[in-house]
Structures are given as structure tokens and as C-alpha cells.
Amino acid sequence: MILKKNPRNAVFVGENIVIKYRRDWNLRKIFNEFLLSWKASLHGLTPTPVLIGPIIVRRTAKGIPLAKVETKKVWRDLIELGAALSRAGIDHKEVRHPGYHVIVGDKLQIIDLERGKLTRRPKNLSRIVPWLLAQRINPDKIKEAVEAAEAPENDKKGALEAIKRWKPVEGRRQRAPRDHQAKADSSVRSSGSA
């Protein structure tokens, strides 16, 4: 049993149920999160929610957070999850860091759609791919999986652009020597000694 509190929400996570209470009673945001959760549940991406005033109730997603799983085992499933979210027209803005927003069980499930929105141009793959690259998944394999995924073209295009722009961390650590200062110092010395 876990109870999480912040200024906006109080979330109770039990063995079989999750109850989220919106403290500020912002009904527009409550309904938006419920609508996104309900639409995602129709696509099998999250447990079905129930709305009771400022409270959203849903079953607990069975499994463990993605952050506690070896990414190399589930990265293809994560790309399929992102593609499914995009096909549903849901843009999950926090999937850029999916560690605690994705539950790994029999299948991957998404949770916490609070900051998501319905859109015609979702960018889930565009957000997931840089995270996978940072986890040291082979860019060529990611490219193949993105091209094979059934996702909106704008999302695939953004993901492929991210792969094209990717530079491994090791390459960024090597810097060119700063010889412009040395050149300036030597030119001052040579002009001063003349």
C-alpha cells in the first residue's frame, strides 16, 4: 500500500486498486485525464478507469516499473506501446522518461495520463526513441522497429530524425584542444619581442 501526496493530487496505490484524488477540484483536468485513461483502456494500454467526482479509480496495473527492468529485454515492446498511443491519438508528454510511467507485466501498460492530450499529431515515438538511444540500444535496430511500427507518419518521421541526429555520449566527451588561446598568446609574444 502506497500513499503519494503533492499539492495537486493524493494517490493511493493498493494491491488491486488505484485511487487518485484531485485536491484542487479542477474538473476540466480531472475529466481530461479520465477521458485519456478511458481511451487508452479501449486500446488495451491501461486499466479501465471509473470517475467519481474529483476521484479517478482504476485497477492496479500488475507488474513492475520499467525503471526496474533491463531495457534491452522490452525496448521493442516500448516502441509498440508508443505507436499504439499515437494511433489512439494520445500524446503522453511524460513518456520522454518512461521509467515510472510504464508498467512491465504480461504486456506493457501506461499509467498517469495527467499531462497527456488528445491530438491529431502525437509525438510518442519521437519522445521514446531518444530515451532508448540513451539506454544504449542499437540505433540501426531502433530504426528498423520504428519503420515497421504502425504509427502516424509525423511521429515516425520525428523518431527517425532523432536517430539521425543521435551522437553517442562517448563521441561528445572528446573535445578539440583549445589552441586558439595558445595562438593568441604566441602572437602577442612575437609582436612584443619585435
For the domain that residue 49 is a member of, what is the CATH number?
A: 3.30.200.20
Provide the domain limits for residue 97. 64-173
Residue 95 pLDDT > 90: no
**Is the pTM of the predicted complex or chain greater than 0.85?**
no
Together in a domain, 68 and 52 = no
Number of domains composing the chain:
2
Highest mean pLDDT of the ranges 8-22, 39-53, 77-91, 157-171: 77-91
Q: How far is CA 5 from the centre of its chain?
A: 22
Cα–Cα nearest to 33, from 113, 110, 122: 113
Together in a domain, 54 and 71 = no
Highest mean pLDDT of the ranges 5-14, 87-96, 143-152: 143-152
pLDDT of residue 71: 87
Together in a domain, 80 and 162 = yes
Together in a domain, 20 and 99 = no
pLDDT of residue 179: 43
pLDDT of residue 144: 93
CA distances to 33, 36, 123, 124, 189 from 91, rounded to whole Å, are 12, 9, 6, 6, 60
- The conformational region for residue 16 under phi > 0 = left, psi -120 to 50 = alpha, else beta, is alpha
Together in a domain, 34 and 101 = no
Residue 20 pLDDT > 90: no
CATH of the domain at 96: 1.10.510.10
Residue 70 lies in a domain: yes
